Structures are given as structure tokens and as C-alpha cells.
């Protein structure tokens, strides 16, 4: 039934188009789309009846054996699609059955239950790599998406992720965000900030302050992060460029300058300051000047997160005796309590679609990642193994990064927004993940 | 009076006698090296002599889980510390607030700040000038006991008073 809907879109869109994307280094110079889809189908993440779409991903083919290899490329595709939670990966027969005209044998493949097929080929020329990748609609027996990417061999993962972003756009109308990164802190005594691809590849140390760094959070344009650091022996708010070259202070008031989060338009920062003794939520500008104090009362107020429209902020307060999540309008108004069902609710992160909050709740004595609608309805627990905290949404709203201690050490994991697929991604121990915005 | 308290009193007495007898009041500046000192940089960051002596004499203030109010024991510790600080009006104090690991990092940072604030408020009420007192929270980042049990957690829920010139 689902695929019937997908077919409808595919029928409506211009088929068999072939776009070429030239990749030089890591910067995309041009992006020529096929004609935009004319029908809207958003796979509704809240639809409990949504099944997974069976998809087959064949190993990429090349006449030149060596590195990179086609099996590796296909495994990147399989991993991306599986982690989205929307696909069931069907094993591809080796070799893939082909028809006489050189196209895949659609009839043979349809017998495996696969409703879509991804296959690709690549060529190496010096240190340049060209990848050609295709998405076939098995039911309609047609090529649905074809892309060609050229770039440095070392960027092959990025090129594959770019294709997968387009596959998601083709099938769901919302581009994937497999080209994004996750920032986090390691577990060394001086917790340094690292970045990695969302799937854990390309790990890179961003800071070397040799002091405690906490709570990294991206600037909306992706060009840097703000974080709390003890560089000057006090928890101050600092900014670091995404190349790690520049580290500058933003707010250095007496007491806490903690958990800074940029407004979606990049003009303001919500932050917890204890400059007036009790930690409260303030709005400051990018120069660090206070614009307004947002919360009052006797509770510790911490962990602000902006609604995607910038109109509201969710935060944690223990004014009722235990930490609970509240929302408050940025332009004035009374705070409203969101969480009611458990005694310890922290770390809210507002979903990019705006309809729900992910947060950490204490469930049966352990921390778990949960989601709740912004009005407090539809509370759901997404994790149930080990202890899990620090949720951070992917920019497409389909995945959540979080800290999990499932293997005995805290590491960064990602899951789809329903929690059906959960995978450890950071090779090194770490916590406090921050999913980047879409990066240019 | 338990034996621990007795030892503390004896140490305090020895330290105080040493200072009041007019020995050199040399205070070595805290280590300003490339690695900034944290709470746990420990005694090494504090020089010999007076500062060290006062530091070892001060009592750490402990808290209940997810709580920043002062228990009778915590109040007694602060009262004791206030008396010592009154004898050394040139020393400033940083109240370092800490939490056990059972909580989320951001919330614990706020909780640690609040604990430090509770201690400073009582010290102020006991007559220590507020310009001698400051707070810093380390949340759950600097446990003194890295174990994962009640005994360790109880030790880690603390405000450590670090003296400085």
C-alpha cells in the first residue's frame, strides 16, 4: 500500500532523468536536479502503520579492482538507508541478475520482495573518482534516479552520502541528511570536542584547550560551535570555528554560563546564567550582551532549546522539586510544564518539525531517550537497554543522536525517530552529541 | 567526639599555632601553567605553609541526592569552616560545587552551582564578607571517587572550599 503511494509520485515525476553533480574537493559547485516531484508524499513518522520499504543495494561495480571498493560503497548506502528507519535491506544476489540489454533483471529482483534497487559503478582516474549511482523502481520497472559524482578519492564516503540524500528526497520528498556531522566531547580528563560524520567516519579533534569542555552546540550556519569551557577556570561560553582554528569567549559572567543554544536565525543565544545567584534562562546576543531574562522563580533553570520557528524555548527547571521540562514564549508569557509522568526529565531538544521534544527521562531507575508532543501528550520511551541520554535531532527530523552506555562505556549512538534501529557510531568513547545543521 | 573530628581539631590547632607564632607568611602563587587547575588538581596547586594548612583544615560539605539544602551535618561543617576563615581575613575562598554521576550533565552543572551557592550563603550569614567568596560548579565532571556505588556517590556530592590568596 505504501509503495502504491510512492509509485504515484514516481509516475508524476519526470522519469529517467540523469543529473550530474561535479564535486571538486569537498565543495559542491553545481547541483542540477531532475524535475522536482510534483506530488507530495511525506512518509509520516508518526503513522504507527508505516511499514519499512524493502530495498536491495547491490555492490558497486568497477572494472578496476582496488581501493575504494564497491562492496564498501554499497555498505555505506545500506547503512544510511537502514539507519533512517524507513527501509528494510534485502540481500543482493551475487552477481546481480542482469537482462540482455545491460539493465538489471527487474523480474528476477522483484521475486526477492525488493521494491527498489540501488546499484552503481565507479571509475578511478589518478586521484579522481567518478561514481555513478542509480535508483530503480522495481514495480514500475524503470530507472527513477541517476546521479554522477566526481571528486577526490578520499571523499568517496561524502559522494555516496550525497546520493543517499537524494534517494531519500526521491522517495519521501524530504532530502536525507547523511552528509551532516555530529560534534561531541570525548571522555578524557580534559574533555575535548570532536566532530565526525553522522555515521562515525572521519573523526576529527576540534579543540585542544586541555581543560574541561562541555555541551557543544552548532551555530545554525554550520561554521562553528558554541560550548561551555573552563579555559578561564569558570564555566564560560566559548565559540570555536568549525576548522578549530579560532576559540573566542562569548559570555564570561560570574557563575554559570552554561548550555548555550543559538536561535534558529543565528541572531541570539539562549543560555543558563547564574549571574543573579540562581541559574536562570537568559537571551544574549552574539556579542554576549544580555537581551532579556526569560525565566524567574526559585528553580534551577538549564538546558534551553529553541522551537524551529524561534518563538518558544523549552528548558529544564526543578522549581517543582524534581527536574521537569517547561516551555516559555520568547516574547513573554508564562512557562508551561510539559512533562508530568516521570520524576526526572532533562536535556530537551526540540524536533526540527516543531511538533515534539526529545529528552532524557529516568525510567525504572535508568535514563532513557523519550519523546513527547509539545503539549505534553503522546509520551513515548524510545530506548530500553543500558542508560541513554543527551538526545540531539538530525536536521531532517528523522534521526536522533544520543549517548549510550550499552557496551559499558559511554559512546555516541544514533537511531531513527521511532527507535526501531539503534546503532553505536562513535569509535571512541564520548558523550553530549550535537547533530550539525545541513552543511554547505 | 569521634576520632576523625579529634584529629581534625589537633591538626587545626597545630596549624594555627604555627601561624600565630609568627612564622614566615610566604604564599606561593598557584600554578598558572598551561594546564589550568581544576578542583581535583588537588593539593599540588596549593603551596606549602599557611594556605596548605588552612586548606587541609577546612571541612568539605556533603549533600543528599538531587538536593542543595543544607543538612544539620552540612551546616555544622560550614559553621566550623566559617570560624577558621574568620581567623584568616586575607584568604579568599572558592566554593566548588560537585554532584554524583547519577544525573544528566547539564542539570548537574546547575545543581553544583546551587550547592556552592547554598554554602556561600551560609558563610555570608555567618559573617564572612561576600567579596571573599565565589562559586564554581563542576557538575558531575570531577568525582573524587570514580566508583559507581552509594559510598562513592555520597563522597562526590560535595562542596569543596578551595582557599586562595
Question: Rounded to a whole number, what is the distance in Å from the CA of B8 to chain A's nearest CA?
Answer: 29
Helix residue ranges per DSSP H, A257-388 = none
Q: What is the pTM of this model?
A: 0.85
Instruction: Give the list of residues 6+ apart from residue B152 with CB closer than 8 angstroms, or none.
Output: B100, B143, B145, B146
Q: Tell me, what's the pLDDT at A24?
A: 39
pLDDT higher than 70, residue A22: no
Angle at A310 between CA A304 and CA A315, to 5 degrees: 15
Cβ contact B38–A230 (<8 Å): yes
Phi, then psi, of A258 in degrees rounded to 5: -115, 155
- Closest chain A CA to residue B39: A233
Concatenated DSSP letters of A198-242: TTS-S-EE----SS-EEEEEE-TTSSEEEEEE-TTSS-EEEEEET
DSSP helix, strand, coil percent of chain B (3-state; round to 5): 50, 15, 40
Other beta carbons less than 10 A from residue B146's beta carbon: 8
Across the A/B interface, how many CB contacts are shorter than 8 Å?
94
Question: Rounded to a whole number, what is the distance in Å from the CA of A203 to chain B's nearest CA?
Answer: 23
Q: Tell me, what's the pLDDT at A274?
A: 95
Segment among A3-7, A120-124, A226-230, A350-354 with least mean pLDDT: A3-7
Q: Tell me, what's the pLDDT at B24?
A: 36
Confidence band, pLDDT 50/70/90 cuts, at residue B52: confident
pLDDT higher than 50, residue A159: yes
Round the average pLDDT of chain B to a whole number and report it.
Answer: 80
Round the average pLDDT of chain A to a whole number and report it.
Answer: 88
Q: Tell me, what's the pLDDT at B7?
A: 57
Q: Tell me, what's the pLDDT at A59?
A: 95
Segment among A345-359, A373-387, B29-43 with least mean pLDDT: B29-43
Measured between CB atoms, which of B66, B110, B117 is closest to A272?
B110
Other beta carbons less than 10 A from residue A125's beta carbon: 10
**What average pLDDT does this structure show over A14-24?**
37
pLDDT in tens, A40-53: 334 554 565 678 99
Q: Give percent of chain A above pLDDT 90.
A: 79
> Which residues of chain A from 349 to 368 reach within 8 Å of chain B, CB to CB?
360, 367
pLDDT higher than 50, residue B19: no
Question: Rounded to a whole number, what is the distance in Å from the CA of B117 to chain A's nearest CA?
Answer: 7
**What average pLDDT does this structure show over A254-277?**
96
Measured between CB atoms, which of A191, A272, A367 is closest to B104?
A367
CB A369 within 8 A of CB A400: yes
Segment among A13-27, A291-305, B7-21 with least mean pLDDT: A13-27
Tell me if chain B has a CB within 8 Å of the CB of A242: no
The secondary structure of A93-146, three-state, reads CCCCCECCCCCECHHHHHCCCCCEEEEEEEEEECCEEEEEEEEEECCCCEEEEE
Is the Cα dihedral A8, A11, A14, A18 positive or negative?
positive
pLDDT higher than 60, residue A19: no
pLDDT in tens, B132-144: 999 999 999 999 9
Cβ contact B136–A302 (<8 Å): no
Tell me if chain B has a CB within 8 Å of the CB of A369: no
B136 contact residues in A (CB cutoff 8 A) = 233-235, 255
CB A420 within 8 A of CB A85: yes
Q: Tell me, what's the pLDDT at A30?
A: 31
- Pairing label, strands B133-139, A116-125: unpaired
Cα separation of A260 and A267, whole Å? 13
Confidence band, pLDDT 50/70/90 cuts, at residue A291: very high
A367 contact residues in B (CB cutoff 8 A) = 104
In the block, which residue shows the cell 567516519? A201
B34 contact residues in A (CB cutoff 8 A) = 210
Which H or E run contains B93?
strand B92-98
Overall residue count recorded for chain B in this entry: 165
Angle at A257 between CA A292 and CA B55, to 5 degrees: 140
Which cell numbers hold the place of B88? 584568616
pLDDT in tens, B98-134: 999 988 999 999 999 999 999 999 999 999 999 999 9
Cβ contact A215–B106 (<8 Å): yes
CB A252 within 8 A of CB A235: no
Confidence band, pLDDT 50/70/90 cuts, at residue B9: low
A316 contact residues in B (CB cutoff 8 A) = 106-107, 110
Q: Tell me, what's the pLDDT at B3?
A: 57
Measured between CB atoms, which of B34, B110, B134 is closest to A256?
B110
Segment among A60-74, A186-200, A211-225 with least mean pLDDT: A60-74
pLDDT in tens, A312-344: 999 999 999 999 999 999 998 999 999 998 889
Tell me if chain B has a CB within 8 Å of the CB of A246: no
Confidence band, pLDDT 50/70/90 cuts, at residue A305: very high
Cβ contact B111–A360 (<8 Å): no
Query: At how many degrees (to 10) do helices B72-87 and B105-125 cross?
Result: 60
**What average pLDDT does this structure show over A185-198?**
94
CA distances (Å), origin A424, targets A49, A51, A86, A87, A204: 27, 23, 18, 18, 17
For chain B, which residues lie within 8 Å of any Cβ of chain A, measuring from their own Cβ? 34-38, 66, 103-107, 109-111, 113-114, 117, 134-139, 141
Q: Tell me, what's the pLDDT at A47?
A: 60
pLDDT higher than 50, residue A412: yes
Amino acid at each position: 500500500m505504501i509503495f502504491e503511494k510512492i509509485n504515484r509520485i514516481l509516475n508524476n515525476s519526470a522519469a529517467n532523468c540523469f543529473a550530474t553533480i561535479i564535486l571538486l574537493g569537498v565543495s559542491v559547485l553545481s547541483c542540477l536536479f531532475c524535475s522536482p516531484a510534483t506530488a507530495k508524499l511525506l512518509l509520516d513518522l508518526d503513522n504507527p502503520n508505516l511499514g519499512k520499504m524493502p530495498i536491495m543495494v547491490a555492490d558497486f561495480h568497477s572494472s578496476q579492482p582496488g581501493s575504494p571498493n564497491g562492496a564498501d560503497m554499497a555498505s555505506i548506502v545500506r547503512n544510511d538507508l537502514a539507519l533512517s528507519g524507513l527501509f528494510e535491506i534485502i540481500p543482493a544476489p551475487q552477481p546481480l541478475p542482469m537482462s540482455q540489454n545491460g539493465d538489471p533483471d527487474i523480474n528476477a529482483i522483484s521475486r526477492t520482495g525488493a521494491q527498489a534497487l540501488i546499484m552503481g559503478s565507479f571509475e578511478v582516474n589518478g586521484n579522481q573518482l567518478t561514481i555513478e549511482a542509480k535508483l530503480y523502481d522495481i514495480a514500475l520497472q524503470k530507472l527513477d534516479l541517476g546521479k554522477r559524482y566526481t571528486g577526490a578519492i578520499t571523499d568517496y564516503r561524502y559522494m555516496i552520502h550525497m546520493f543517499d540524500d537524494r534517494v531519500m528526497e526521491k522517495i519521501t520528498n524530504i532530502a536525507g541528511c547523511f552528509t551532516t556531522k555530529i560534534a561531541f566531547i570525548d571522555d578524557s580528563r580534559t574533555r575535548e570536542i570532536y566532530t565526525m560524520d553522522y555515521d562515525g567516519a572521519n573523526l576529527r579533534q576540534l579543540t585542544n584547550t586541555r581543560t574541561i569542555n562541555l555541551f557543544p552546540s552548532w551555530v545554525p550556519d554550520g561554521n562553528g560551535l558554541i560550548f561551555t569551557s573552563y579555559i578561564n577556570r569558570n564555566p564560560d561560553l566559548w565559540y570555536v570555528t568549525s576548522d578549530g582554528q579560532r576559540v573566542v569567549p562569548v559570555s564570561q559572567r560570574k557563575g554559570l554560563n552554561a548550555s548555550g543554544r543559538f536561535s534558529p536565525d543565528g541572531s541570539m543565544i539562549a543560555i543558563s546564567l547564574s549571574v543573579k545567584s540562581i541559574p536562570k534562562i537568559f537571551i544574549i546576543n552574539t556579542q554576549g550582551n544580555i537581551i532579556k531574562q526569560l525565566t524567574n522563580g526559585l528553580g534551577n533553570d538549564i538546558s534551553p532549546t529553541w522551537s524551529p520557528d524561534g518563538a518558544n524555548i523549552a528548558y529544564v527547571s526543578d522549581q517543582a522539586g524534581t527536574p521537569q521540562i517547561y516551555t516559555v514564549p520568547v516574547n513573554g508569557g508564562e512557562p508551561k510544564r510539559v512533562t508530568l509522568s516521570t520524576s526526572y526529565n532533562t536535556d530537551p531538544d526540540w524536533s526540527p518539525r516543531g511538533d515534539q521534544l526529545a529528552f532524557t527521562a529516568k525510567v525504572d531507575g535508568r535514563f532513557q531517550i523519550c519523546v513527547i508532543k509539545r503539549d505534553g501528550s503522546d509520551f513515548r520511551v524510545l530506548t530500553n537497554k543500558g542508560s541513554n541520554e543527551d538526545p540531539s535531532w538530525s536536521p531532517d527530523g528523522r534521526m536522533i543522536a544520543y549517548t549510550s552506555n550499552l557496551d559499558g562505556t559511554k559512546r555516541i549512538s544514533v537511531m531513527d525517530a521511532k527507535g526501531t534501529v539503534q546503532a553505536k557510531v562513535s569509535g571512541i568513547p564520548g558523550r553530549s552529541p550535537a547533530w550539525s545543521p545541513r552543511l554547505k | 567526639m569521634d576520632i576523625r573530628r579529634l584529629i581534625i581539631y589537633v591538626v587545626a590547632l597545630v596549624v594555627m599555632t604555627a601561624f600565630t607564632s609568627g612564622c614566615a607568611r610566604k604564599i606561593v602563587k598557584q600554578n598558572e601553567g598551561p594546564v589550568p587547575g581544576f578542583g581535583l588538581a588537588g593539593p599540588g596547586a596549593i603551596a606549602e605553609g599557611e594556605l596548605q594548612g588552612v586548606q587541609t583544615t577546612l571541612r568539605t560539605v556533603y549533600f543528599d541526592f538531587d538536593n542543595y539544602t543544607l543538612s544539620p551535618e552540612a551546616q555544622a561543617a560550614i559553621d566550623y569552616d566559617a570560624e577558621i576563615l574568620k581567623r584568616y581575613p586575607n584568604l579568599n575562598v572558592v566554593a566548588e560545587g560537585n554532584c554524583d554521576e547519577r544525573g544528566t550533565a547539564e542539570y548537574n552543572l546547575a545543581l553544583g552551582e546551587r550547592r556552592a551557592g547554598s554554602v556561600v550563603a551560609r558563610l555570608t550569614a555567618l559573617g564572612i564578607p561576600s567579596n571573599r567568596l565565589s562559586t564554581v560548579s563542576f557538575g558531575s565532571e570531577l568525582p573524587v571517587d570514580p566508583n559507581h556505588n552509594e559510598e562513592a556517590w555520597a563522597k562526590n556530592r560535595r562542596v569543596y572550599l578551595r582557599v586562595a590568596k
